[in-house]
A and B are shown apart, each in its own frame.
Chain A
Amino acid sequence: MSKILDIQDVTVSFDGFKALNHLNFAMEEGELRVIIGPNGAGKTTFLDVITGKVEPTEGAAYFKGKDLRKRKEHEIACLGIGRKFQTPRVYLNLSPRENLELSCNRQKNVLATLFKQTPPAEKRTVAGLLETIGLDYKADIPAALLSHGEKQWLEIGMLVAQSPDLLLVDEPVAGLTDEETAKTGQLLLSLAASHSIVVIEHDMEFVRQIARQVTVLHEGTVLCEGTMDQIQNDARVIEVYLGEEAS
């Protein structure tokens, strides 16, 4: 099984409304995949299924051959899937360093957290990460004081600190300036060297910057897949998505 993620015929219905409708999706280890789609296409529900927040009504989801149904969110996170939320979600009353140390912690049970200090190796990892995400000089102030972009980066850093194999990144550049967007793109590309990444994004400029393979979701199913050029020239995509943007 070289497929890191394999979603087979997944349907999620909320009181009859099908947020995902017989969705099939697979990606290889080491791939950077961008998922686009108009509002309500089911992008966030798709991530919810993978991370265990929502259980599929039908179908199955596998991560490295392991069934993800019936597993709790924290168990899935420990398997090696990290998720970044749409709005940055960091612990505002903790410093970036503390945020990263909590994510970096390998022993996540209660007693180890209570009685053990952060090991030096993890401290070094955190120091390196702070540099990568450009927050080393703000490492010890409360995260509430960070700008929106810095919070986004901090949350991406928290994902990486978990050392997951698969990163799920939901709209990382929403609300960022152009300069910050470009920096975030670089950060994701450099992470793609050692991780498999799924990025969900609306910002087409940004998608063009980072995309290799693009999947288009529409009304809960995959509309088409391909490179950015193929996607942009696909008549169906233009109709449901790009067309809407242009008009």
Chain B
Amino acid sequence: MDVTVKPRRLAQALGRKKIVFEVIAVIAVALFLLLGLPHLLTDFRLGLLGRFLSLGIVALAIDLIWGFTGLLSLGHGIFFALGGYALAMYLSLVSIPSGQIPEFFSLYGVSSLPWFWQPFYSFPFTLAAIFIIPALVAGLLGYLVFRNRIRGVYFSILTQAALVVFFNFFNGQQKLINGTNGLKTNTSILMGKQVGTPETQFFLYVVTVAVLVIVYALCRWLTSGRFGRMLVAIRDDENRVRFSGYNPTGFKVLVFAISGAIAGVSGALYTIQSGIISPQAMDIAFSIEMVIWVAVGGRATLVGAILGAVLVNMARSLLSERFPNIWLFFQGALFLLVVTALPDGLIGWGRRQFGPTVSQALGLSAGPMAYGENDELRADTLAEKEG
């Protein structure tokens, strides 16, 4: 017994050390984003970064559902847009004198506020709606799909079909939510200040960084522990999970709902920083791009999702400023490159290249306890054990 217990203790000690390092690293990055970068970047660039970081949040949602649980959702635009619309509706209501209704309604001859707008007068309701509405929609959709054991490519197609349904619905409802024009938030008032001003935008940047850290911590917690191993088990072999006595449906519905909620938060933060939410957020291409960010950064790594979202979007804004026509080619090439040369994304590649060196430098390596690097070595120990 002693022999088996010792490495376990060592592994636990290393595990604790790793957590400490990770917490320090997250705080350091957050402080750099909050205190360092605002001095280095112009307001315009900082605003862009804030948007990209909020896209990093939806990338975390995709990583949770795709990277860890193996469910490729091509419909996260739905949840992203729901969160965005929830906040935009509140902002449309709060910045007009009481008794009036938002201006666009008059264009379509609507004179009284539709019933479902009413609760959005309340700020606490809106904050809750930003993640609860997408979570409910995702939970319901997930329940119907997963209960019927729809998996793999069929699941992806279904999510994309749902996206198209939502897109067409939002696009066509001028009288309810201004249809294809969407809702503008730039000139709205948030906490007594106009949303579009640099001060408010900086405040929103700070909020985005804070939310990103919180969502990252949530995802880390979900994917470590037993629940996280369960997600990986479902990805690896869902039937085995069933025959081990678990019902995977509940797990999948919960993780899909959480993923939807995170996407909603991301959508709200993105909307308020970009100044508009429109059905374009439910464009098919946009939901596929989310998946590309995660693939570029590295699946099932969480950090990779954020990194992928920020880097790809930065590359897009820089490239499309200089060469407006080239971006789509670049994006296609990037995707091909990742699929063929970097199947584990940037983080996966980095871990393989520099992982051992870095962990040794930090004293995190398990040294000779680590198995798996050398097959011959393992064969030897096996023979010894059996002999």
**Residues of chain A whose beta carbon lies under 8 Å from any beta carbon of chain B:** 51, 72-74, 77-78, 82-83, 85, 89-94, 98, 101-103, 105, 108-110, 113-114, 116-118, 127, 130-131, 134, 136-142, 145, 147, 158, 162, 179
Determine the residue in chain B with the shortest Cβ distance to A180: B386
What distance in Å separates the Cβ of B32 from its nearest Cβ neighbour in chain A?
A: 32
User: B1: CB under 8 A from chain A?
Assistant: yes
Evaluate contact between A141 and B372: CB separation under 8 angstroms: yes
A77, A78, A101, A110: the one contacting B251 at CB < 8 Å is: A110
Centre residue among A51, A93, A147, A162 by max chain B CB count within 10 A: A93
5 contacts between A and B (CB under 8 A): A91-B240, A101-B226, A109-B250, A110-B254, A140-B371
Nearest first, the 5 closest Cβ-Cβ pairs linking A and B are: A77-B245, A73-B242, A91-B236, A110-B250, A141-B371
User: Which residues from chain A contact B254 at a C-beta distance below 8 Å?
Assistant: 110, 114
A116: B residues at CB distance < 8 A = 226
Please determine whether A51 and B243 come into contact, CB atoms closer than 8 angstroms.
Answer: yes
Q: Which of B17-25, B118-126, B227-235, B326-334 contacts A (4 or more CB under 8 A)?
A: B227-235
Q: Which of A93, A113, A127, A142 contacts B1 (CB 8 A)?
A: A127
What residues of chain A lie closer than 8 Å to B235, measured between beta carbons? 93
B237 within 8 A of A: yes
B100 within 8 A of A: no
B4, B7, B251 — most chain A CB neighbours (10 Å): B4
> Are A113 and B230 CB-contacts (below 8 A) given A89-B239, A130-B4, A140-B7?
yes
Which residues of the other chain, A, contact B230 by a CB distance below 8 angstroms?
102, 113
| B237/A145 in contact, CB under 8 A | no
Inter-subunit contact A137/B226 (CB<8 Å): no
Contacts of A85 in B (CB 8 A): 240, 243
Residue of A whose beta carbon sits closest to that of B251: A110
Q: How far is the CA of A102 from the CA of B242 in the complex (A)?
A: 12
Please determine whether A145 and B372 come into contact, CB atoms closer than 8 angstroms. Answer: yes
B381 at the interface (CB under 8 A from A): yes
CB closest chain-B residue, reference A72: B247
> Given A127-B4, A145-B371, does the pair A102, B229 have CB atoms closer than 8 Å?
yes
Contacts from B to A (Cβ < 8 Å): 1, 3-5, 7-8, 11, 222, 225-227, 229-230, 232-233, 235-237, 239-240, 242-247, 250-251, 254, 371-372, 378, 381-382, 385-386
Closest residue of B by beta carbon distance from A146? B378
Partner of A91, one of B227, B232, B371: B232
Are A138 and B226 in contact, with the CB atoms below 8 A?
no
User: Given the complex, which residues of B lie within 8 Å of A89, measured CB to CB?
Assistant: 237, 239-240
Contacts of B243 in A (CB 8 A): 51, 73-74, 77, 82-83, 85
- Most chain B Cβ neighbours within 10 Å, of A74, A83, A131, A145: A74
Residue of B243, B246, B381, B382 with most chain A CB atoms under a 10 A cut-off: B243
- Complex Cα–Cα for A140 and B11 (A): 9
Given the known A-B contacts A102-B233, A136-B4, A145-B372, are A113 and B240 also in contact in the complex, defined by CB atoms under 8 Å? no
Q: Cβ of A134 and Cβ of B242 under 8 Å apart?
A: no
Q: Which residue of B lies closest to A106 (CB)?
A: B245
- Measured CB to CB, the nearest residue on chain B to A84 is B243
Question: What are the residues of chain A within 8 A of B242 when measuring CB–CB?
Answer: 72-74, 77
The distance from the CB of B225 to the nearest CB of chain A, in whole angstroms, is 8
CA separation between A101 and B230, bound complex, in Å?
Answer: 10
Q: Is the CB of A74 within 8 A of B251?
A: no
B147, chain A: closest CB distance, angstroms: 11
Chain A residue at smallest Cβ distance from B370:
A141
Complex CA distance for A113 and B252, rounded to whole angstroms = 13
A94→B1 contact, CB < 8 A: no
In the bound complex, do residue A91 and residue B237 qualify as a contact, i.e. CB atoms below 8 Å apart? yes
In the complex, chain A residues whose CB is within 8 Å of the CB of B251 = 110, 113
The verdict on A137 contacting B245 (CB below 8 Å), with A113-B230, A131-B4, A142-B372 known, is: no
Interchain CB contact under 8 A, B4 and A98: no
C-alpha spacing A134/B385, complex, angstroms:
9
The interface residues of chain B lying within 8 Å CB-to-CB of A145 are: 371-372, 378
User: Given A72-B247, A74-B242, 8 more contacts at CB 8 Å?
Assistant: A82-B243, A102-B230, A108-B247, A109-B250, A139-B4, A141-B371, A141-B372, A162-B245
How many Å lie between the Cα of A140 and that of B372 in the bound state?
A: 10
Q: How far is the CB of A111 from chain B (nearest CB, A)?
A: 9
Does A102 lie within 8 Å of B1, measured CB to CB?
no
Choose one: B4, B233, B245; the contact of A78 (CB below 8 Å): B245
Contact residue among B250, B372, B381 (Cβ-Cβ distance under 8 Å from A137): B381
